[in-house]
Amino acid sequence: MSDVFEPPRVRSDSMSTTASSSSRVVLRQRLAQLLVCLEDLSSDDEANEEVSRTLDEAFNLCGRYNSKEFFRLHMVTWNVGTAEPPADVRSLLQLDPQSSTDLYYISDLIAEDSWSHLLMDTLAPKGYIKVTSVRMQGLLLLLFAKQVHLPFIRDIQTTYTRTGLYGYWGNKGGVSVRFSFYGHMLCFLNCHLAAHMNYALQRMDEFEYILDSQEFDMFNTPQVLDHKVVFWFGDLNFRITDHGMHFLRSSINNGRFNLLWDRDQLCVLKKKEPILQEFEEGPLCFKPTYKFDRFSETYDSSGKKRKPAWTDRILWRIKPKATEAEDETGSTTSSADDEEYPVKVMLDMYTCDASYGVSDHKPVIGIFNLEMKRKVEMPLVALTSEGIWCADEEAVLTYTLLETFEASTFDWIGLYKIGFKSASDYSAFSWVKDDEVAAIDEVVTVQMNKNELPLLAGDYVLGYYSTNMQTLIAFSETFRILESKQASTEGLVPENINGLEK
pLDDT per residue over 194-241, tens digit each?
Answer: 999 999 999 999 999 999 999 999 888 999 999 999 999 999 999 999
In this predicted model, which residue has the larger pLDDT, 140 or 4? 140
Is pLDDT of 354 > 90?
A: yes
Mean pLDDT, range 84-110, rounded to an integer: 85
Residue 428 has pLDDT above 90, yes or no: yes
Would you identify the CATH topology of the domain 381-489?
Answer: Immunoglobulin-like (2.60.40)
Kindly indicate the confidence band of residue 408, based on its pLDDT and cuts at 50, 70 and 90: very high
- Poorest-confidence range of 49-58, 229-238, 291-300? 49-58
Lowest mean pLDDT among 4-13, 244-253, 334-343, 445-454: 4-13
Are 434 and 411 in contact by the 8 Å Cβ rule? The answer is no
What does the alpha-carbon distance between residue 41 and residue 45 come to, in Å, rounded to a whole number? 10
Contact status, residue 379 vs residue 402, Cβ threshold 8 Å: yes
Whole-angstrom Cα distance, residue 235 to residue 237?
A: 5
Q: Is the pLDDT of residue 278 over 70?
A: yes
pLDDT at 61: 58
Look up residue 83 and give its amino acid. Answer: A
Greatest mean pLDDT among 110-119, 186-195, 487-496: 186-195
| Contacts with 141 (C-beta within 8 Å, 6 or more apart), sequence order | 105, 106, 107, 133, 134, 135, 158, 175, 176, 177, 188, 190
Q: Residues of the chain with pLDDT > 70: what percent?
A: 79
Report the CATH superfamily, name and number, of domain 66-373: Endonuclease/exonuclease/phosphatase (3.60.10.10)
The angle subtended at Cα 176 by Cα 170 and Cα 182, nearest 5°, is 165
Question: pLDDT higher for 23 or 374?
Answer: 374
First and final C-alpha spacing in the chain? 41
Q: What is the pLDDT of residue 499?
A: 40
> Between 12 and 306, where is the model more confident?
306
Annotated domain spans of the chain: 19-64, 66-373, 381-489
Which range has the worst mean pLDDT, 57-66, 96-105, 149-158, 396-405? 57-66
Model pLDDT, residue 44: 63
Containing 52, the helix (H) or strand (E) segment is: helix 45-64
User: Looking at 71-85, 107-121, 361-375, 452-466, which range is the least confident one?
Assistant: 107-121
- pTM for the whole thing? 0.84
Average pLDDT over residues 476-502: 73
Q: Is the pLDDT of residue 490 over 70?
A: yes
Predicted local distance difference test score (pLDDT) of residue 489: 79
The alpha carbons of the chain give a radius of gyration, in whole angstroms, of: 27
Q: Which residues contact 465 (CB under 8 A, 6 or more apart)?
A: 411, 412, 413, 414, 423, 429, 471, 472, 473
Q: In this predicted model, which residue has the larger pLDDT, 247 or 47? A: 247
Distances (CA, A) of 341 to 18, 187, 444: 9, 17, 35
Q: Average pLDDT, whole number, for the chain? A: 85
Check residue 496 and give its pLDDT. 45
Residue 468 neighbours by CB under 8 Å, 6+ apart: 406, 407, 408
Q: Which of 87-101, 119-133, 197-211, 271-285 has the lowest mean pLDDT?
A: 87-101
Domains 66-373 and 381-489 share a fold: no
The predicted structure's pLDDT at residue 502: 39
| Predicted local confidence at residue 28, as pLDDT | 59
- The answer for residues whose C-beta is within 8 angstroms of residue 499's C-beta and 6 or more apart is none
pLDDT of residue 493: 65
Once rounded to an integer, what is the mean pLDDT over residues 481-496?
Answer: 78
Q: What mean pLDDT is predicted for residues 26-46? A: 62
Given pLDDT bands bounded at 50, 70 and 90, which one contains residue 305? confident
SS3 (DSSP) at 290: strand
CB 423 within 8 A of CB 471: yes
Handedness of CA 243, 244, 245, 251 (dihedral sign): negative
